[in-house]
Chains A and B, each alone.
Chain A
Amino acid sequence: MVNTETKTAISIKGLEKVYPDGFRALHPTHLDIRSGEIFALLGPNGAGKTTLINAVCGIVNVTAGDIEVYGNNITTQYRKARSCIGLVPQELTTDAFETVWNTVSFSRGLFGKPANAGFIETTLKRLSLWDKKDQQIRMLSGGMKRRVMIAKALSHEPQILFLDEPTAGVDVELRKSMWDQVHELRSMGVTIILTTHYIEEAEEMADRVGVINKGELMLVEDKKTLMKKLGKKELVFDLHQPLTDEHEELTAMKVHSAADGLQLIYTYDTLKENNGVADVLDCLNRLHIRYRDLSTRQTSLEEIFVSLVNKK
């Protein structure tokens, strides 16, 4: 039995992957995934996200480094390590002519579990696939196929679930429903690692975020801390009258106008003790600039991500 009480679900030390053609997909990478968390790996296309997942799952040989899954080395103790992991790959790679029931049962068998009709029934019902159980996969819609992939990955009751771009190409409704399912899995104690292009997905679900670009893991941070640390806030004033004149004082304070002069926007750093908000309010009073509303807006993870990737 694998001890899932350990705080670290996956430990990656010095992982490197260089493909035979010389392409370095991963620079030496160190990463610990905590048991029970949702970890989002963000990165543009070709950043190395899928290579990292494939290395942990044993799908590609690594060039250097060590990976442990609940303390089990993926090379020397691969049976224990792999039996903990379920993988939903990015591509919808299914056996088109198999039925949903058979393909999910096949996956369970592959991972060394005896047949359990009750568990597969529960899994299919939870993923709204029960009424499709006897249908060939080729007859299903893209969204349904994606659910089948998830059902296959869950069929052997893994403690860790990799979701590689889980909502790529699915509609908004289905995406939200998948997010709910991911939250449900987490509440059952499953550690979830997801890669995504959709920053809102990471923002909605993740406890921690890793940003990878050109094979380098640039940062790993608690999502809230990251947004606090790197996040800026905008203070937006909706004015009664459009501002036609330029005020040097406002320009000096880096307050700029928008919406044809009907808005003033002040961007400030949330971590600074003197963030200048009080000064801006004083200044507007002095200049007799009246506003009917004011609001604040936090910088999104997407903006943080873009700024990090661009810096590189």
Chain B
Amino acid sequence: MNFYAVAAIYKFEMARTYRTLGQSIASPVLSTVLYFVVFGSAIGSRISDIDGINYGAFIVPGLIMLTVLAQSVSNASFGIYFPRFAGTIYEVLSAPMSFIEIVMGYVGAAASKSIIIGLIILATASFFVPLEIRHPVWMITFLVLTSVTFSLLGFIIGIWADGFEKLQLIPLLVITPLAFLGGSFYSINMLPPIWQKISLANPVVYLISGFRWSFFEQSDVRLSVSIGMVLFFLVAGFALTAWIFKTGYRLRN
């Protein structure tokens, strides 16, 4: 294992975050604070509790997930796309690294950023609503698995994209709608039965449900199903990445 190489990529990617601290950290935190002010305090105060949970507290896991999904995809896709765009990718491709090491460097850094942002949002939320995390280990597990899985998806998008427009296409047209419709601001049990069934086709439902369970022991789907789905997406993303490096798709052709 070429640990020095993994560390080099990881440190390089994290350094980019520190250089653009305002954009990387402050911006998602600010937008989340706005969500809390609008949905938590202004509108939330007029909405009744959901499953016995204060609405302001209920949306915390969903809001964290919303940001973590978007940040994971955006950080990882930009992280690999930019060297491709600038041409500096030659160095990574010619280095004595396996694809797993390359993925560990880029995806690890993107996931780390998302986890940090998720935790900052959690800390910020605690200033607005009373929060209790019933299962902190599961909360961290879901946060890490989701960050890694969606960073892997972002990494794939960054390799697939052949322009900055395409880089934005999937996050804007797919990830954001799925995150909004995945139960960030509501429980899918509140939907009419037909929409409940349709919602189950949305993978984000399982992530938010499992994550919310770790906070309140309340979930839309069973915990085991949530974990199974996250692991399934993780394995699928990893398999697709392995194929990309095996064939050289958009990298070595």
Contacts and interface: CB of A to CB of B under 8 A. Distances in A.
Closest 4 CB pairs of A and B: A109-B8, A93-B87, A79-B96, A110-B95
B133 to A, nearest CB: 37
Interface of B: 2, 4-5, 7-9, 11-12, 15, 19, 86-88, 90-97, 247-248, 252-253
Interface in A107-126: 107-114
Given A97-B19, A113-B4, A58 B92 contact: no
Contacts of B90: 54, 57, 59, 87, 89, 93
21 contacts: A54-B90, A58-B252, A60-B252, A60-B253, A61-B248, A79-B2, A82-B94, A83-B96, A89-B87, A97-B19, A98-B15, A107-B91, A109-B5, A109-B7, A109-B8, A110-B4, A110-B92, A110-B97, A111-B4, A111-B95, A112-B96
Contacts, number: 80
Nearest to A79: B96
B252 A80 contact: no
A81 B97 CA distance: 11
Given A95-B86, A112-B4, 14 more contacts: A57-B94, A59-B93, A61-B252, A83-B96, A87-B90, A93-B86, A93-B88, A96-B86, A97-B19, A102-B15, A109-B4, A110-B91, A110-B95, A110-B97
Nearest to A86: B94
Given A60-B253, A61-B253, A109-B4, A82 B88 contact: no
Contacts of A107: 91
A109 B5 CA distance: 5
A152 B92 CA distance: 12
A102 B15 CA distance: 10
Interface in A234-293: none
Interface in A58-101: 58-61, 78-83, 85, 87, 89, 91, 93-98
A142 to B, nearest CB: 15
Nearest to A20: B253
Contacts of B247: 61
A292 B4 CA distance: 69
Given A91-B87, A109-B7, A109-B8, A80 B94 contact: no
Residue from the set B5, B86, B96, B247 with the largest chain A CB neighbour count within 10 Å? B96
Contacts of A198: none
A289 B67 CA distance: 93
Contacts of B7: 109
Interface of A: 19-20, 54, 57-61, 78-83, 85, 87, 89, 91, 93-98, 102, 105-114, 152
B253 A106 contact: no
Contacts of A80: 96
Contacts of B5: 109-112
A110 B8 contact: yes
A93 B15 CA distance: 19
Nearest to A58: B94
B94 A95 contact: no
A38 to B, nearest CB: 21
A111 B88 contact: no
Contacts of B252: 58-61
A82 B96 contact: yes
A228 B93 CA distance: 41
A98 B94 CA distance: 20
Nearest to B93: A59
A32 to B, nearest CB: 21
Nearest to A87: B94
Contacts of B96: 78-83, 111-112
Contacts of B97: 110
Nearest to B82: A95
Contacts of A79: 2, 96
A55 to B, nearest CB: 10
Contact of A95 (B4, B8, B88): B88
Contacts of B19: 97
Contact of A82 (B8, B11, B12, B95): B95
Nearest to B8: A109
